[in-house]
């Protein structure tokens, strides 16, 4: 297995999964796989990309794949965890992250979310001025009861307003984005400078420019504005108040082929060009990558149940649709997925490609993974693999039609090619489905 291509490795894993009955036409019509060896390689590439001279905490954005064993895995690889809800915070704690390794971002934190994070010592990035006022209240109450300052690193999320990327819905630094404090809006810069001056505990600056579709230069320009703002705080306060910059995530993923491009080193090169002050050692850095660490290291396998021809178009009805590929089904132009066709034993199907619709099981006509996709002609019992689905797919279900969430299996491959699976999530049973629907 040592020198196999990514495609050969996937086929090898899928064949082993069929042999182990993890993909099976009655009991396991849909299953997802996360290649843990490759996740380790991606995390290592991230660590290697940043110079040792800067103090960086790389956190994994739990939203990209919130399965607790996945979080545990990245923790063991030396990462922290970025969370954006009380649920994700619970997942991170359950995965064993220490509070100081966790960063809490969300535009809608409640008072109790904030209190919990500050009590634990989890880092918090305030999204807006109203949230800052709530933090003031919580800290004042805390100081009067415990007399202690919070252990949490506290920052403000800036919207550097550098514009959007290729997917509007993923672009968080547009002029009117719902995230963060809009740096260039009238009066905001001064209000922010005042806010920092009045709050000595406000020691971090946060920016996340966008996720998928944002060019590296755009992301780096946004981060550069956050760094320049940190320098401005420090010079106007006359002290090094801001000691850390949280640069978010957002490295785009190549969904077109097996190349991992751009890489983390390309991103660091862009950051060095636009924001050299980040690398002087004056600031601690936090990163929050998600998709770029997991997407290409997972795939989903779906059995073909039936095939038919309608209006002259061959259609394969599979068990993967909007419930596991929500973004692809609802926004196919923005989130196209590569698909491969396999025989029932998992081997890659040979044969002349024929344009086929690859449909899912959900009850709406648009539940298609791909339209007129050229693939070897599929037959009932075949398997379709959805590539690059390690992030934001099976872990992010859409519960329409009460379809059960599929099993997710962790995979490791020995140097001698032996494939080992371990459960990252059990498949939901119909009983589980009833439990989440009121029974």
Ligand X SMILES: Cc1ncc(COP(=O)(O)O)c(C=O)c1O
The set of catalytic residues is 363
* Residue of 76, 39, 88 whose CA lies nearest to 395: 88
211 binds ligand X (CB under 6 A): yes
Kindly state the tokens that stand for 100: 């100081």
Residues 269-288 that bind ligand X (CB under 6 A): 288
Residue 224: CB partners within 8 Å, gap ≥ 6? Answer: 274, 275
Q: How far apart are CA 254 and CA 270, in angstroms?
A: 18
CA atoms in the 13 A half-sphere facing the CB of 164: 13
Residue 28: CB partners within 8 Å, gap ≥ 6? Answer: 21, 22, 406, 407, 427
- One of 38, 82, 88, 405 touching ligand X (CB under 6 A): 82
* Residue of 252, 253, 254, 232 whose CA lies nearest to 241: 232
Query: CA-based Rg of the chain, rounded to a whole angstrom?
Result: 23
Which residue stretch of 47-55, 114-122, 216-224, 245-253 sits at the interface with ligand X (rule: CB under 6 A)?
245-253
What's the min distance (Å) between Cβ of 260 and ligand X?
A: 14
Total residues binding ligand X (CB under 6 A) = 17
15 binds ligand X (CB under 6 A): no
Smaller CB separation from ligand X, 291 or 319: 291
What's the min distance (Å) between Cβ of 293 and ligand X?
A: 8
Smaller CB separation from ligand X, 287 or 300: 287
Which residue stretch of 27-35, 47-55, 159-167, 208-216 sits at the interface with ligand X (rule: CB under 6 A)?
208-216
Q: How far apart are CA 210 and CA 269, in angstroms?
A: 18
SS3 for 293-317, per residue? HHHHHEEEEEEEEEEEEECCEEEEE
What's the min distance (Å) between Cβ of 248 and ligand X?
A: 5
- 84-123 mask for ligand X (x: CB under 6 A)? ---------------------x------------------
DSSP, collapsed to helix, strand or coil, labels residue 286 as strand
What's the min distance (Å) between Cβ of 198 and ligand X?
A: 25
Cα→Cα distances 4→166, 411, 417, Å: 33, 16, 10
What's the min distance (Å) between Cβ of 10 and ligand X?
A: 22
290 binds ligand X (CB under 6 A): yes
As to burial, measured by CB atoms within 10 angstroms (0-12 exposed, 13-18 middle, 19+ buried), residue 192 is buried
289 binds ligand X (CB under 6 A): yes
250 binds ligand X (CB under 6 A): yes
Which residue stretch of 25-33, 60-68, 363-371, 373-381 sits at the interface with ligand X (rule: CB under 6 A)?
60-68
* Total Cβ atoms within 10 A of residue 40: 16
Which residue stretch of 59-67, 86-94, 142-150, 187-195 sits at the interface with ligand X (rule: CB under 6 A)?
59-67
Smaller CB separation from ligand X, 246 or 428: 246
Cα→Cα distances 3→6, 44, 105, Å: 9, 19, 40
* Total Cβ atoms within 10 A of residue 23: 29
291 binds ligand X (CB under 6 A): yes
- One of 155, 213, 244, 249 touching ligand X (CB under 6 A): 249
208 binds ligand X (CB under 6 A): yes
Smaller CB separation from ligand X, 39 or 64: 64
Q: How far apart are CA 107 and CA 166, in angstroms?
A: 23
248 binds ligand X (CB under 6 A): yes
What's the min distance (Å) between Cβ of 34 and ligand X?
A: 15
131 binds ligand X (CB under 6 A): no
What's the min distance (Å) between Cβ of 340 and ligand X?
A: 24
- Residues forming contacts to ligand X in the complex (CB under 6 A) are 61, 63-64, 82, 105, 208, 211-212, 248-251, 288-292
């Amino acid at each position: 297995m040592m020198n196999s291509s990514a495609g050969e490795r996937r086929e090898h894993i899928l064949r082993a999964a069929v042999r182990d009955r993890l993909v099976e036409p009655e009991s396991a019509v849909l299953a997802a796989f996360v290649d843990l060896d490759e996740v380790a390689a991606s995390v290592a590439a991230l660590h290697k990309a940043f110079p040792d001279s800067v103090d960086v905490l790389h956190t994994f954005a739990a939203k990209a794949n919130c399965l607790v064993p996945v979080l545990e895995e990245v923790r063991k690889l030396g990462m922290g965890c970025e969370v954006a809800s009380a649920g994700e915070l619970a997942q991170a704690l359950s995965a064993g992250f220490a509070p100081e390794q966790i960063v809490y971002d969300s535009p809608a934190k409640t008072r109790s979310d904030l209190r919990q994070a500050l009590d634990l010592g989890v880092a918090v990035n305030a999204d807006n001025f109203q949230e800052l006022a709530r933090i003031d209240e919580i800290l004042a109450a805390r100081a009067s009861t415990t007399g202690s300052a919070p252990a949490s690193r506290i920052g403000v999320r800036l919207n550097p307003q550098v514009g959007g990327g290729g997917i509007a819905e993923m672009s968080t630094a547009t002029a009117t984005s719902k995230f963060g404090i809009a740096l260039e809006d009238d009066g905001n810069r001064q209000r922010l400078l005042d806010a920092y001056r009045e709050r000595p505990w406000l020691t971090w600056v946060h920016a996340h420019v966008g996720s998928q579709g944002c060019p590296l230069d755009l992301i780096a320009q946004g981060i550069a504005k956050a760094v320049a703002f940190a320098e401005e705080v420090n010079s106007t306060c006359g002290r090094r108040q801001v000691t850390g910059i949280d640069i978010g995530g957002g490295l785009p993923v190549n969904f077109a082929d097996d190349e991992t491009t751009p890489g983390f080193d390309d991103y660091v090169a862009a950051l060095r060009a636009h924001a050299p002050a980040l690398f002087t050692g004056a600031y601690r850095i936090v990163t929050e990558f998600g998709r770029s660490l997991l997407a290409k290291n997972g795939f989903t396998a779906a059995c073909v149940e039936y095939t038919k021809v309608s209006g002259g178009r061959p259609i394969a009805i599979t068990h993967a649709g909007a419930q596991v590929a929500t973004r692809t089904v609802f926004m196919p132009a923005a989130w196209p997925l590569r698909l491969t066709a396999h025989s029932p034993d998992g081997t890659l199907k040979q044969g002349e490609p024929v344009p086929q619709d690859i449909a899912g099981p959900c009850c709406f006509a648009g539940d298609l993974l791909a339209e007129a996709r050229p693939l070897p002609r599929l037959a009932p019992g075949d398997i379709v693999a959805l590539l690059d689905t390690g992030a934001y797919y099976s872990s992010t279900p859409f519960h329409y039609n009460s379809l059960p969430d599929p099993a997710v299996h962790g995979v490791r491959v020995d140097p001698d090619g032996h494939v080992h699976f371990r459960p990252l999530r059990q498949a939901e049973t119909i009983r589980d489905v009833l439990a989440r629907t009121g029974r």
